[in-house]
Chains A and B, each alone.
Chain A
Amino acid sequence: MILNKDLVAASATPLVLAILAEGDSYGYAIIKRVADLSGGEWQWTDGMLYPVLHRLERQKLVAAKWGQSEIGRKRKYYRITKDGLAQLELQRQQWRVVDRTLHGIWSQAMA
């Protein structure tokens, strides 16, 4: 399913932060994780993840470091920072409100 652009933009931050909270990762693995989590329904233009990562890096929510892949290629790894964890918690609470509200009205409509 192609998700609405604004929705993708809004959810990208908590999603990336949550994935990084599981452990350090890099661009391609993050995208794979998103695909797995959504059962392949979340279709992201791969390249667009990187400007998001760079923004989070600038906001100091994540930290980046150049390392090597398993076959020795240059690879940029990202790690969530303390600020990032705090931001993630904040977003989690906000999204919970959104989720609960939407769920409330849609479950009523279904009933």
Chain B
Amino acid sequence: MNPSAVDATLEGQISQWREYLRRRAAIHGSDVAELEDHLRSQVATLMESGLAEDEAFLVAVKRMGNLDALSREFAREHSERLWKQLVMAPADDDRSQSWHRDALVAFLLALAAAIAVKTPAVFGLHIDHDAPFYARNASLFVFPLLTVYFAWKRRLDFITGTWLALGFAAGALFVNVYPFAPRSDTQGLSALHLPIALWLLVGFAYVGGPWFASERRMDFVRFSGEQFIYYVLIALGGGVLTAFTLMIFEAIHVRAEWFVGLWLVPCGAAAGVVVAAWLVEAKQSVIESMAPVLTRLFTPLFTLVLLVFIVAMLWTGKPIDVGRDVLIGFDLLLALVVALVLYAASSRDRQAPPNLFDGLQLLLIGSAIVVDALALIAIAARISELGFTPNRVAALGENLLLLANLAGAAWFYARFLCGRADFGALERWLIAYLPVYCLWAAFVVVGFPPMFDFG
């Protein structure tokens, strides 16, 4: 064996050992360097005394001690390290540089989002007086900047960027040139559905390539869930900030309502979306995903509630009372079940055999379908009497879309549980179906207002 080959094996072994050590939460990069120096010194001494290289390595590693015990000792001395700190930059120098650049870009884009929200005010459109304008355009203040962030991160080419920009421009055009009647249903529907349609564009930028071929679609689903959770947390913090701002200025009899209402809340809400996205991107490998944890927690509870509901309905014989908003309520229920199924799938090991939780998921889907079918039957009986308002048509369409999605999911789950299909088939179905919602939302934004005379 020539000397360089000998060297290469030792280096390989040491770098393997280093990687192994680095995975320990309690042992940081600088500790690894210190321990590595020790290991190398030990190996050198042992080789001088006549040991072969691999023997020297083995002895040195053995003398270093059991890694679990060592890691425990380190954890005792540095207990704070077991709490992974999100705000701390990663230990590696090259990664920390990109981390800082990323943080700077995110911060600038968040600032841009805040400015974007205030820009219409320059042209005389104020949040307090022109609420419908802001409701229709809410997503347009933020999502393009979010898209820019991902376009920058994924280094999208110019043509893709242009297509995405055209998409946003089309959205902006439709919601702003349609002559909506004041307080019309179709205007409310547009405001509600535009974000859903535009989220697909954010997704295109996120996967950074051809959407339909991308393995990253599931990552985008994971991202969306985490971002939502982070945004809620940021919003809670913002709520506390708002409350204190109002309280302390109240104490000196200075009115701060205008500042809170016109600046703090709208700018914060817009910037928060970008910050949440950046946090999710930055922490990806730092903290466990939260959405699957919530899914695990709530799937059994929702299943139980739905089953009890079905039993109660059968027992008491009471029909579903078809009020005005009952359809929307059931839409939300189905959407929630879809989300539970989706996030359970997002964190599942595809190769693992069916387990109890999969059965529970199927039970959840099944009970949701039964409950929704009961609601639909009740509504169908009275639909002519209630009339086809835009809200009702939109809610009905969404209900059918969700129902189809869940029925498909139930089918694939059943096949998977019987061992006739792998989990990947279910996952592909769930993922492939998602753009359908965005397309439907786009249809509601573009098609509904003219269909219903902008009423």
Residues of A within 8 A of B (CB): 26-28, 31-32, 45-48, 50-51, 54-55, 58, 69, 73-76
Contact = CB atoms under 8 A, between A and B. Distances in A.
Interface residues of B, number: 23
B63 interface: yes
In the A-B complex, the 9 residue pairs with the smallest Cβ-Cβ separation, listed nearest first, are A45-B65, A28-B41, A47-B70, A47-B65, A51-B73, A51-B77, A47-B64, A28-B38, A76-B34
A39 to B, nearest CB: 17
A6 to B, nearest CB: 14
Given A48-B65, A50-B31, A27 B73 contact: no
Contacts of B73: 47-48, 51
Nearest to B42: A28
Interface in B66-107: 66-67, 69-70, 73-74, 76-78
Residue among A28, A45, A47 with max Cβ neighbours from chain B (10 Å): A47
B33 interface: yes
Interface string B44-71: 0100000000000000000111110110
B42 A46 contact: yes
B37 interface: yes
Residue among B37, B66, B67 with max Cβ neighbours from chain A (10 Å): B37
Given A45-B63, A47-B70, A48-B73, 4 more contacts: A47-B35, A48-B65, A51-B70, A54-B31
A54 B77 contact: yes
B77 A55 contact: yes
B325 to A, nearest CB: 60
A27 B40 CA distance: 12
Interface of B: 30-31, 33-35, 37-38, 40-42, 45, 63-67, 69-70, 73-74, 76-78
A14 B42 CA distance: 24
A70 B64 CA distance: 22
A17 B111 CA distance: 53
Contacts of A46: 38, 42, 63-65
A75 B35 CA distance: 9
Contact of B34 (A27, A31, A48, A58): A27
B63 A74 contact: no
Contacts, number: 60
Contact of A48 (B30, B37, B40, B70): B70
17 contacts: A28-B37, A28-B38, A28-B42, A45-B63, A45-B64, A45-B65, A46-B38, A47-B65, A50-B31, A50-B34, A51-B76, A54-B31, A58-B77, A69-B37, A75-B34, A75-B37, A76-B34
Nearest to A76: B34
Nearest to B37: A75
B37 A27 contact: yes
A31 B70 CA distance: 16
Nearest to A75: B37
A74 B37 CA distance: 7
A33 to B, nearest CB: 13
Contacts of B33: 74, 76
A54 B31 CA distance: 10
A26 B33 CA distance: 13
A106 B402 CA distance: 84
Contacts of B65: 45-48
Contacts of A50: 31, 34-35, 38, 74
A53 to B, nearest CB: 9
B33 to A, nearest CB: 5
Contacts of A31: 38
Contacts of A69: 37, 41
Contact of A26 (B31, B37, B64, B69): B37
Contacts of A27: 34, 37-38
A25 to B, nearest CB: 12
A55 B78 CA distance: 9
A73 to B, nearest CB: 6
